[in-house]
């Protein structure tokens, strides 16, 4: 198994280096220098050149890349001239809120999708299964902001039960406690994630149900409830580990859309406003950190699956 | 045996097997797949919905003339009624006309982006699968790198910088969606290249490119067709997201996401016709494509299983 682990670490490192070079080059091509933002739109070419020279934006791309990565490893994510703060400070303000929104949605999605998949497999082709499958189908054919708008219309405008704007508080504890305002954004993100998970959970649960050990357990006389609890749940959860890893990029994107729709001051909304302002340091740091997060997430999911599933370990 | 005379055989009866019993019509691979596909009612519904949207978006404007260029503030925010079957938007443009025009953009970008993705993906996958060795490893690492790219963010950055048009959005979306088809085609090629007809072609001296063009890719078409369908659906959703965030097509063009983002500001005023018809169009189109894709996958898998 350690050979697999070493190979996997090697692959991840190669991909990490590759993705960082690719993203840096791409963003360098798109926004070569923040001179226009720092100096204003009427800056003369001479002052732009002086700014570039002073801040190292006229060096060859490789040199800029290396010094940027050096800074990144030491926690220096660059400086945002548009916001007049370091990028790291901007991220730090919003990190807790975004982690809360994405984390709680992911957790709820797992808690709903897993039993739902098992239920769909056990009650296959009954009314319950068909309703769940149809609902999931409609939900994942829908852009997430449309679902959000429908939820806002129903729960915040037509029947004013919940708030249509997410909590604007700066304290994470107030945000966590404010279910009135946070329920709709969390619900939007959760439902979309559940819809995407349930496709795979349903088919993997059906596969597990057809396995021999389930038949043996039933033949032994084990009550159905225990068959499900002891055998089915464990084996049906295995694909969930891979799914979470695969779904991380979508989670980041969902974060962006949901925060923009509900005006939630998180990392996603920061990306959106920085894009409008062409605040290149923030965009570069965001996409790089996002890509690194995705690679690491997939790596952890692979390792977790190897730990959880002995069949892979011993293969 | 006398020269010039052959032993006479009874005429060949093609309707009975030698051991007795009926012989049915020949079931070739494609016909079988088509039969399975048509049996799936959802798939037929999907094709119907898709055809409806193509006709609605491209032929509709020939029949229903709506002025989408001249701002008309007197009619702004008109609810559905006489003259405007689905109401008017913030600029006074007719919503039904906007639906048609936005649909043109959505379908054009969807199909073109899928075409770009499958072209790049099939080439990369075929080359990787056929070559093997170091070329395969390098190409697959490149695929891994592109898979780690946060899709929506990069597409947004490129759309914001280089402006949004049907061409640029298609290239950008397709340019970051080719990884999955590459992996699928590579998998198919790895299987096909061990088959006898490929070995025969290689023995006859066929060069690699001809091998890819004539043998490997045509036999991977099943996998590619399924993937292309889902690519179109994903591309239409991606355009909706980009348009909603404000980086899609702008006046005088428009797209569906753009329409929704305009309408969001008026939700509290109750102008439902600015949002729900567009949203339903997006959902129906994507659902139709997903139906078709699922049915294609089922029917082609069955064909492979029965071989």
Q: What pTM did the predictor assign?
A: 0.88
How many residues in total does chain B contain? 307
How far away is chain A from the Cα of B32, in angstroms, using its nearest Cα?
25
What was the pLDDT predicted at B25? 60
pLDDT bin (cut points 50, 70, 90) of residue B65 is confident
Name residue, tokens 């229903």: B64
How far away is chain A from the Cα of B282, in angstroms, using its nearest Cα?
7
pLDDT reading at B158 higher than 80: yes
**A23 CB near a chain B CB, below 8 Å?**
yes
What was the pLDDT predicted at B307? 38
How far away is chain B from the Cα of A138, in angstroms, using its nearest Cα?
7
Tokens of A2: 């350690």
How far away is chain B from the Cα of A191, in angstroms, using its nearest Cα?
16
ipTM of the complex: 0.89
What was the pLDDT predicted at B69? 81
Cβ <8 Å between A15 and B247: no
pLDDT bin (cut points 50, 70, 90) of residue B18 is low
User: Which of B41, B148, B168, B240 to substitute to test the interface with A, most A CBs within 10 Å?
Assistant: B148
Instruction: Give A117-160 pLDDT, tens digit per residue.
Output: 888 888 888 888 889 989 999 999 999 999 999 999 988 888 88
Give CA–CA dist A157/A151, Å, rounded: 9
Tokens of A162: 């919940």
Cβ <8 Å between A141 and B153: no
What was the pLDDT predicted at A7? 86
Query: Are residues B79 and B273 in contact, defined by beta-carbon separation less than 8 angstroms?
Result: yes
Cβ-based neighbour number of residue A252 at 10 Å: 26
Q: Give the C-alpha distances (Å, rounded to integers) separating B128 from B139, B189, B219, B220, B226.
A: 6, 9, 16, 14, 20
What single string gives the DSSP state of each residue in chain B? --TT-PPP-PPP-TTB-TTSSB------HHHHHHHHHHH-HHHHHHHHHHHHHHIIIIIHHHHS----SS--GGGTTPPSBTTBTT-B-TTS-BHHHHHHHHHHHHHHHHHHHHHHHHHHHHHHHHHHHHH-HHHHHHHHHHHHHHHTS-HHHHHHHHHHHH---HHHHHHHHHHTS-HHHHHHHHHHHHHHTTSHHHHHHHHTT--HHHHIIIIIHHHTHHHHHHHHHHHHHHHHHHHHHHHHTT-S--TTS--HHHHHHHHHTTTTTT-GGGTHHHHHHHHHHHHHHHHHHHHHHHHHHHHHHH-
Which chain A residues touch B283 with a CB distance below 8 Å? 138, 141-142, 146
User: Which of A143, A153, A165, A255 to substitute to test the interface with B, most B CBs within 10 Å?
Assistant: A143
Among candidate residues B232, B228, B230, the one with its CA nearest the CA of residue B240: B232
Overall average pLDDT of the A214-243 stretch: 84
What was the pLDDT predicted at B99? 92
Give CA–CA dist A268/B241, Å, rounded: 14
**Cis-peptide into B252, omega within 30 deg:** yes
**A208 CB near a chain B CB, below 8 Å?**
no
What was the pLDDT predicted at B6? 61
Q: Among A257-261, B32-36, B47-51, which is the least confidently predicted range?
A: B32-36
**A170 CB near a chain B CB, below 8 Å?**
no
Query: Are residues A82 and A274 in contact, defined by beta-carbon separation less than 8 angstroms?
Result: yes
Query: Are residues A20 and A291 in contact, defined by beta-carbon separation less than 8 angstroms?
Result: yes
Cβ <8 Å between B153 and A271: yes
Cβ-based neighbour number of residue A172 at 10 Å: 14
pLDDT reading at A203 higher than 70: yes
Average model confidence (pLDDT) for chain A?
87
């Amino acid at each position: 198994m350690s050979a697999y682990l070493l190979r996997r670490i090697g692959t991840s490192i190669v991909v990490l280096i590759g993705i960082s070079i690719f993203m840096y080059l791409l963003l360098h091509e798109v926004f070569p220098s923040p001179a226009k933002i720092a100096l204003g739109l009427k800056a003369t070419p001479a002052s732009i050149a002086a700014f570039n020279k002073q801040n190292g934006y006229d060096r060859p791309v490789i040199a800029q890349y290396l010094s940027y990565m050096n800074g990144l490893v030491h926690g220096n994510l660059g400086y945002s001239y548009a916001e007049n703060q370091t990028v790291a400070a901007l991220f730090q303000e919003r990190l807790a809120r975004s982690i809360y929104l994405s984390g709680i949605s992911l957790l709820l999605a797992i808690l709903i999708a897993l039993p739902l998949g098992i239920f769909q497999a056990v009650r296959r082709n009954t009314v319950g299964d068909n309703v769940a499958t149809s609902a999931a189908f409609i939900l994942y054919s829908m852009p997430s902001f449309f679902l959000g708008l429908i939820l806002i219309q129903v729960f915040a405008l037509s029947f004013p039960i919940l708030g249509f704007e997410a909590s604007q508080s700066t304290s994470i504890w107030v945000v966590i406690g404010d279910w009135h305002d946070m329920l709709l954004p969390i619900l939007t993100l959760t439902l979309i994630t559940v819809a995407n998970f349930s496709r795979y959970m349903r088919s993997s649960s059906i596969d597990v149900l057809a396995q021999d050990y389930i038949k043996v357990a039933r033949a032994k006389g084990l009550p159905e409830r225990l068959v499900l609890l002891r055998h089915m749940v464990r084996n049906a959860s295995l694909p969930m580990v891979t799914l979470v890893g695969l779904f991380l990029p979508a989670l980041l994107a969902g974060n962006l859309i949901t925060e923009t729709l509900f005006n939630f001051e998180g990392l996603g909304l920061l990306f959106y406003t920085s894009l409008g302002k062409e605040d290149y340091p923030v965009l570069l740091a965001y996409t790089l950190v996002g890509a690194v997060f995705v690679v690491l997430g997939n790596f952890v999911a692979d390792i977790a699956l190897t730990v959880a599933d002995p069949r892979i370990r011993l293969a | 045996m006398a020269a010039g005379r052959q032993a006479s055989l009874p005429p060949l009866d093609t309707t009975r097997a030698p051991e007795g019993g009926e012989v049915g019509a020949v079931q070739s691979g494609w016909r079988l797949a088509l039969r399975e596909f048509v049996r799936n009612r959802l798939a037929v519904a999907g094709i119907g919905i898709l055809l409806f949207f193509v006709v609605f978006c491209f032929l509709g404007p020939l029949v229903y003339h709506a002025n989408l260029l001249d701002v008309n503030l007197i009619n702004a925010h008109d609810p559905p009624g006489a003259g405007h079957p689905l109401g008017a938007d913030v600029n006074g443009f007719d919503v039904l006309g906007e639906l048609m025009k936005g649909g043109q953009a959505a379908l054009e970008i969807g199909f073109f982006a899928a075409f770009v993705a499958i072209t790049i993906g099939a080439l990369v996958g075929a080359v990787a699968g056929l070559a093997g060795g170091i070329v395969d490893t390098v190409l697959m690492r490149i695929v891994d790198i592109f898979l780690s790219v946060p899709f929506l963010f990069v597409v947004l950055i490129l759309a914001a910088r280089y402006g949004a048009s049907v061409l640029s959005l298609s290239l950008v979306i397709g340019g970051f969606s080719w990884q999955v088809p590459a992996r699928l085609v590579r998998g198919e090629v790895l299987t096909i290249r061990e088959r006898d007809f490929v070995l025969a072609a290689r023995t006859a001296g066929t060069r690699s490119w001809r091998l890819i063009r004539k043998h490997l890719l045509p036999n991977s078409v099943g996998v590619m067709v399924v993937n292309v369908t889902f690519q179109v659906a994903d591309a239409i959703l991606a355009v909706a997201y980009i348009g909603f965030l404000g980086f899609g097509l702008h006046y005088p063009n428009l797209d569906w996401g753009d329409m929704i983002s305009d309408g969001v500001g008026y939700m509290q005023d109750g102008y439902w016709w600015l949002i729900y018809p567009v949203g339903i169009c997006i959902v129906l189109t994507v659902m139709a494509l997903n139906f078709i894709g699922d049915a294609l996958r089922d029917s082609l898998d069955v064909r492979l299983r029965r071989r």
